[in-house]
Amino acid sequence: MVPRAEFESYYGRPVIKAPSWAARDIAGYFFLGGLAGAGSVLAVGAQLTARTTTATAMKVSSLAAVSLSAAALVHDLGVPSRFPNMLRVLKPTSPMSVGSWLLAAYGPAAGTAAVTAVTGRLPRTGAAATAAAALLGPALASYTAVLAADTAVPAWHGAHRELPYLFAASATAAASGMALLVGPVHESAPARCAAVLAAGADEIATRAAERRLGMVAETYREGRAGTLLRAARLLTATGAATGLVLGRRSRPAAALAGLALLAGSACTRFGVFAAGVASAEDPRYTVVPQRAALNASDPAQS
């Protein structure tokens, strides 16, 4: 009998178009937005527990991060006027539309919180802005995962359930690292605890995503993405452990832990981005899982 033909691609060409986004701009946008959003949550916690130095530093870092994040997004768009044009309508079913409005609302809140904290003026306005930034922060930190998963890119779409949790954990690790880096040691206990929780959640979410992806998980383990994600795990775990054990007594150790956590979060975002590009460029990762799903739903196709 003639063996059944197995279609994998059309002359080895990609079935879908790989993302045209620049890694430096969009992966950087993912990382900086997460740092800003999670940083605002830590800032309001520090404010409520009288850790004023850490609170002020985190408000300023969140403003800097969201400003750089917006700049990266506008740079990738190519024409600056495209960003305000996205605010002409609000489309709840579009992650890009919702994200644009989210960024536009969060930026002024973060800016007001930072300016009032540094100047010491208008404390009530500053408190309201701090609360608003903290409420918008979690959405800002994780919506980019929804944006990526809402594409046909196999490594992103296939992990649509786990990716928001992974981005939220990565953002928390980054914000914890920033708090350890810029805050005094005697105010760092919440950041050290958050870093440990974030490291654990990051590992759980990554493993869950790889299980769901099946063969597509190869893109998370091989090539540039694999190198970045292995580095991310090592840096995040090292930073969390160093902060927990040594960060409570040593300022240099806390700073090193913070840098490791920030670098680990950045590697996670750039690694996930690289995995998505790799999965789109290889037609096997589009066709083979679709064929397997078709056979599973209709045994007669086997």
Question: 90 or 187: which carries more pLDDT confidence?
Answer: 187
Mean pLDDT of the chain: 89
**Predicted pLDDT of residue 94:** 81
Q: How confident is the model at residue 298 (pLDDT cuts 50, 70, 90)?
A: low
Mean pLDDT of 112-124: 94
CA-nearest of 93, 39, 89 to 68 is: 39
Residue 232 CA neighbour count, 13 Å, CB half: 30
**Predicted pLDDT of residue 77:** 81
pLDDT at 92 over 60: yes
Left if phi > 0, otherwise alpha if psi is -120 to 50, otherwise beta: which for 14? beta
Mean pLDDT of 119-126: 93
Alpha-carbon distance of 292 to 296, in angstroms, equals 6
3-state secondary structure of 145: helix
- Tokens matching residue 143: 């919506």
pLDDT at 299 over 70: no
For every residue of 14-49, DSSP letters joined together read: -SSPPP-S-HHHHHHHHHHHHHHHHHHHHHHHHHHT
pLDDT at 301 over 70: no
Alpha-carbon distance of 145 to 275, in angstroms, equals 13
**Under 8 Å CB-to-CB from 226, ≥6 apart: which residues?**
220, 271
- CA-CA-CA-CA torsion sign (46, 51, 56, 60): negative
Question: 100 or 178: which carries more pLDDT confidence?
Answer: 178
Q: How confident is the model at residue 97 (pLDDT cuts 50, 70, 90)?
A: confident
Asked if residue 165 lies in contact with residue 138, where contact means CB atoms within 8 angstroms, the answer is no
- Tokens matching residue 157: 């779409």
pLDDT at 72 over 60: yes
**Under 8 Å CB-to-CB from 147, ≥6 apart: which residues?**
95, 96, 99
**Predicted pLDDT of residue 300:** 53
Residue 265 CA neighbour count, 13 Å, CB half: 34
Asked if residue 171 lies in contact with residue 34, where contact means CB atoms within 8 angstroms, the answer is yes
CA-nearest of 294, 297, 290, 301 to 16 is: 290
3-state secondary structure of 283: coil
Q: Using one digit for the tens of pLDDT, what is the confidence trace for 106-115?
A: 999 999 999 9
**Predicted pLDDT of residue 291:** 73
pLDDT at 243 over 90: yes
**Predicted pLDDT of residue 8:** 54
